[in-house]
Amino acid sequence: MTAPPAAKRVIGSISAVIAGVVLLGAVVAVSECDRKVLSHLQRRFQKPRKAGDAITAVPKDIERHAQFLARAKEGDIDVLFVGDSLTDRWPRVGEWSWLKLAPFKPANFGVEGDCTEHLLWRLEHGELDAISPKVIVVLIGGNNVFYFADEKPEWTASGIEKIIAEIRKRSPSSKVLLLGIFPRDEKESRVRRTIAEVNRAIQHFDDGTHIRFADVGAQFLDANGDIPSDIMPDKVHLDAKGYALWYRSLESILPEMLK
């Protein structure tokens, strides 16, 4: 039985509305995706990287910086985490393991997309001025390697060294737990190889007193050296299981450093 013309017009209108809603949703989703991809590409394909870039402070995410300054004024921070998205995402993606850190009175000053120069700028502009944490956990440098194909490992290592020096200058009573950059990408990739070189360089910043180096990245790899999808779905960012592993690696280190 054929629908009458009026009914066809109604059905057609409804279908058009539904299609429009679906299309709008797709456009919004694609636009958001494109925004992130574009941001990533802009960082990767901008002017060539130079030796001094990783140690030259550059402002970024000023609003987050203001939030951290406000949080610092509240005080009551024994363990401060600083770094990039791996640190930034922990309270949200790994909520349950982050809550387990509560006895250590933690604060999270991680910022998505930060390179060494961005963290350096935040430290130089007061994020430690109102606090003196017992331990500052530093995980930074992965984006230097990931975003810039021409970034040399010694440049990233120099950026990390300057960050450590800035922390020691502004909060001399704090101990520093410097973490090796976590593995990213495929095991034979340029990114993975460069990260390994950076970690070999920065392990020497451990002075046995104020600065401790810990490379806990092996726990995020399987027996073949690959990154399981239930730990890092995109081979960069941790899932809840990955954050649980990170917490487990700190269970014995933090209490010892807090003594």
**Residues 123, 75 share a domain:** yes
Q: Quick one: which H or E segment has residue 138? A: strand 135-139
Q: How far apart are CA 70 and CA 57, in angstroms?
A: 21
Spatial contact of 122 and 68, defined as CB atoms under 8 Å apart: yes
Residue 193 pLDDT > 50: yes
Q: How far apart are CA 215 and CA 116, in angstroms?
A: 18
Query: Do the bridges between strand 135-139 and strand 79-83 make them parallel or antiparallel, or are there none, so unpaired?
Result: parallel
Quote the radius of gyration of the chain (alpha carbons, Å).
22
**Residues 188, 92 share a domain:** yes
pTM here?
A: 0.84
**Residues 196, 156 share a domain:** yes
Domain range holding 115? 53-257
Q: What pLDDT does residue 47 have? A: 80
Q: What pLDDT does residue 256 have? A: 96
Residue 43 confidence class, pLDDT cut points 50, 70, 90: low
**Residues 83, 19 share a domain:** no
Q: What pLDDT does residue 46 have? A: 63
Q: What pLDDT does residue 146 have? A: 97
pLDDT digits (tens, 9 = 90+) for 69-108: 999 999 999 999 999 999 999 999 999 999 999 999 999 9
**Residues 224, 160 share a domain:** yes
**Residues 66, 26 share a domain:** no
C-alpha dihedral over 245, 247, 248, 250, to 10 degrees? 130
**Residues 13, 60 share a domain:** no
Residue 120 pLDDT > 70: yes
Q: How far apart are CA 159 and CA 202, in angstroms?
A: 10
CATH number at residue 156: 3.40.50.1110
Spatial contact of 82 and 137, defined as CB atoms under 8 Å apart: yes
**Residues 115, 19 share a domain:** no
**Residues 41, 59 share a domain:** no
**What b-and-e string marks burial along 156-170, b requiring 16 or more CB atoms within 10 Å of the CB?**
bbbbbbbbbebbbeb
| Cβ within 8 Å of residue 144, ≥6 positions away | 54, 115, 116, 151, 155, 156, 159
**Residues 14, 101 share a domain:** no
Residue 16 pLDDT > 80: no
CA geometry: angle at 57 spanning 52 and 61, to 5°?
135
Q: What pLDDT does residue 37 have? A: 42
Bridge partners of 176, per DSSP, are 136, 211
Residue 13 pLDDT > 80: no
3-state secondary structure string, 10-62? HHHHHHHHHHHHHHHHHHHHHHHHHHHHHHHHHHHCCCCCCCCHHHCCCCCCH
Instruction: Give me the phi and psi of 101, to 5 degrees please.
Output: -80, -5
User: Which positions are catalytic?
Assistant: 85, 234, 237
**Residues 76, 2 share a domain:** no
pLDDT digits (tens, 9 = 90+) for 134-179: 999 999 999 999 999 999 999 999 999 999 999 999 999 999 999 9
Specify the number of domains making up the chain.
Answer: 2
**Residues 72, 119 share a domain:** yes
Residue 25 pLDDT > 80: no
